[in-house]
Structure 1
C-alpha cells in the first residue's frame, strides 16, 4: 500500500530506532569515564584528552541544524539512514587512532556524521503523534538513550581493562549496522518532504521565528543550560572519583552505574505523567533534584552516597530533557518539525560541549568549588523556571 497507517509503521521501526539511538549515546558516554586512562595511554594531560568530549558534542550540535533543515527538504528517512551509516563507518575508524590529536579529530567527524539519527527519530514522533500523545513515545526513545548512557558510562570503563579501548568502538559499529539493516528493510513508509522553497535564508528565518516567540526562546535557553550543566558534571565524574576516592576503572564503573538508569526504567512513566498532569511540576522537581545532588558531591561523603548522588543527577536530566523535547515538537508543528528539533539538539549538544570545557577550566579553582558553582547556577535556573514555565501546566491539544 502507498499510504499505510503512519503510527503502525512507526511501531515496526521503533525497535531499531531505539537501538540506534541507544548505541549513539552508548559510544558518546563511554568516553568521559575513560579520560584518566586515555590520558595515560596517549601520554597527555587529562585536560588535553578531555577535548574528545567537546569535539564530538560541539560538532554534533552544529551539524544537526543542517540535518533538520535537510530533513524538512528531503524527508526524515533518507537523512536518518545516511547519518546512521556515517556513524557506523566513523565509529569503526576511530579505533585506528594512534594519537590524542587523531582521536580528537575522529570524534569531531563522528559528531558531524551521527547527529542526524536522534533528532530525526524525535521529529518522526512529532510528525505522527498529536501533542497530547507524544509523551509515551518520546519517553521510550529517551529511555533507549538513557539505557545507552547507563551502559556506556559503566560498561565502557569496566570492560576497557580487558578488551582495550579500541575494541569498544569496533564492537559498537556492527551493532549499529544491524540497526541500519533492519531500518532499511522495514522502512516501507515513504514520507514525503515538506516542499516549500527551501533555502539558507529560509532556514535562518525559520530559526529566527522559533526563537522569536517567548515559549520557544525560553525552552531553548533551558535546553542549552541543561546541556552545560549535565555534561559538565558527567564528563569529569571519572576524575572526581579518582581524585576524591582513588578508584580504579572498574570501581569508577560501579560508582556511576546509576547514571542513565532512572530514564531507562522510568522514561515511559515520566512521559505518561507529563501527558496527564503537565510538564511544569516535573521539570521543577528535576532541576531542583540535580542541584541538590550536585552540591552533595562537594561534601565529604562516603563513596556510596556519592554514587547515589550521581544517580539523582541523572534523574534530574530524565525529569527535564524529555519534557523540553516534547515542548519543541509543538513549536515546529508538522512542517517545520525537523528544524525545531534540530535547533533543540543544537542547543543541547553545544551545551554539552561547552559544559565539559567550562567545568574543565573551573577545575583550576578546585573540584569542590566547581561543583558548588554549577549547583548554585542550577538553583538560579530552578527559581527562574518556577516563574517562566507556569504555562506548561497543561498541554496543548491543538
Structure 2
C-alpha cells in the first residue's frame, strides 16, 4: 500500500514465473493466429471447393461457435485439473487439428479440422490469463496481463497477414502447415515448463498449486450473473461487438480482394493493420483512460471503427485503406478495453465465470456476424456489408456511452442517498 512495497516489486516475480508467462503469451498469440488465419483465404477456399463465399465462411463461423461454447467449461476444468496443464495439452491438440486441415480433401473435412482447432484454442487465452492472475502479485498483475494480451493482439496481425501471404505464395494448405509447426513448438515448450513446475517441491510451488477455494456450482454462478441488469447489458453488447467487430472483420480481406482487385497477400496485410492499431492503443491507452473516461473511450472508439469501415468500404483506391484499417483497429480496442473492464466487474463474487460468459457471448456474436455478413454479401455487396458493420459499431458506442453515464449517475445518487 505504501512506497515500501515498491523496492521489491520488480523482483517479486521469479525468472521461472516470467518464463512461464512468456510461454503463455506465445500460446495466446497462437490461439489468435488460428482464429484469424482463414479470413484472407476465404475467396481461395470458395474457388478450390467450388462453394459460395457464404459456405466458405463456415471455416470462420464454426471456429467461433466452438470457441465460444467451449469457454463455458474450460474455467471449471482448469480449476480442477490445473490451468497450465490444460493450456499445454490444448496447444498440442491444436497441432493435431491443424494437421487434419492440411490434408482436408473437402470443405466438410476442413470444417471438422477447424472444430478440433477451436476446441484447443479456446482454452489458451482465458486460462493463460487466469494462471497469471493466480501466480502474480496484485501490484504487478496489470503489467503481466498486458504482456499476455499483447500476444493475442499480435496474433490478429500475424493471422491476417500470414493467411493471405501463404495462400498466395504456396497455397492454403501451407497456412495450416505453419500452424502445425507453431502449435507443436509452443506446446512442446509448455510441456517442458509444466514438467519443471511439477518438479518444484510443494512448499515452493506457485499459488496455482494450492487447493482451489470452494465456489458455487457453475449454473448457480451463471444465474447469479444474468440476474443483474447491468450484466445482461454487457453480455448483449458483447454479442453485438463480436458480430459487427470481429465477425464482419472476416469479410474485409474478401472485400479488398473483390472490390479493388488486390491479391490475397496485400488484402491480408492491410487488414492485419487492424490488429496493429490495437497494439497502438495498448501503448497510449494509459494516457487516454483518465482523460476521456470510460464513456469517452467507447464513444470515440465506436466512431473511429465506423469512420475506418466507411472509408475502407467506399474509397475506390487501396491507399486510404491502410490508415482506415489502423484507425478502425485503434478504435475497436479502445472500445473493447472498456468492455473487458466492465466484464470483470459484472459479478465480483463470481468473476471467473463472468469473464468466461463474456468471452462466450463475444465469440458467439462473432459467429453470428460471419454468417450474416457472408449471406448479405450476395444481396447487397461487400461495400454495404463492411460499411454496415462499422455503422452498427458506431451506434453501439453511442449507446454504451449513454448507458455508462446513466449507471454512473445512478451509483452517485445511491451513494448520496446513503450519506
> Structure 2 length normalisation: TM-score?
0.83
Say whether residues 1:306 and 2:317 are aligned partners: no
Partner residue, 1:369 = 384
Aligned length: 385
Q: Does 1:343 align with 2:357?
A: yes
Between the aligned partners of 2:245 and 2:139, the Cα distance in structure 1 is 28
Q: 1:139 to 1:225 in 2, by over 3 A?
A: farther
Question: What secondary structure does 2:20 align onto?
Answer: helix
Q: 5 Å matches for 1:1-398?
A: 7-8=13-14, 10-127=17-134, 134-187=141-194, 188=197, 189=206, 190-196=208-214, 202-270=217-285, 274=289, 278-331=293-346, 333=348, 336-363=350-377, 364-390=379-405
- TM-superposed deviation, 1:40: 1.3
Gap runs ≥5 in structure 2: 1-10, 198-205, 410-419
What's the C-alpha RMSD, in Å, of the aligned pairs?
2.8
Q: Is the 8 A contact 1:210 1:216 kept in 2?
A: yes
Q: Displacement of 1:294 after TM fit?
A: 1.6
Shift of 1:277: 7.2
Q: 1:284 to 1:129 in 2, by over 3 A?
A: farther
Tell me how far apart the structure 1 counterparts of residues 19 and 290 of structure 2 sit (CA, whole Å).
23
Decide whether aligned partners of structure 1 residues 140 and 224 sit closer, same or farther in structure 2, where only a CA change above 3 A counts.
farther
Paired residue secondary structure (1:260): helix
Aligned counterparts of 1:297 and 1:78: Cα–Cα separation in 2: 43
Distance 1:21 1:33 in 2: 20
TM-score with structure 1 setting the length:
0.87
Partners of 1:131 and 1:329 lie apart in 2 by: 15
Alpha carbons of structure 1 residues 124 and 193: separation in structure 2 relative to 1, 3 Å: same
Residue ranges of structure 1 left out of the alignment (5+ in a row) = 394-398
Q: 1:142 to 1:178 in 2, by over 3 A?
A: same
1:177-226 deviations in whole A, cap 9, x for unaligned? 3323333333423433535376xxx2122112122223432222222221
Higher Rg? 2
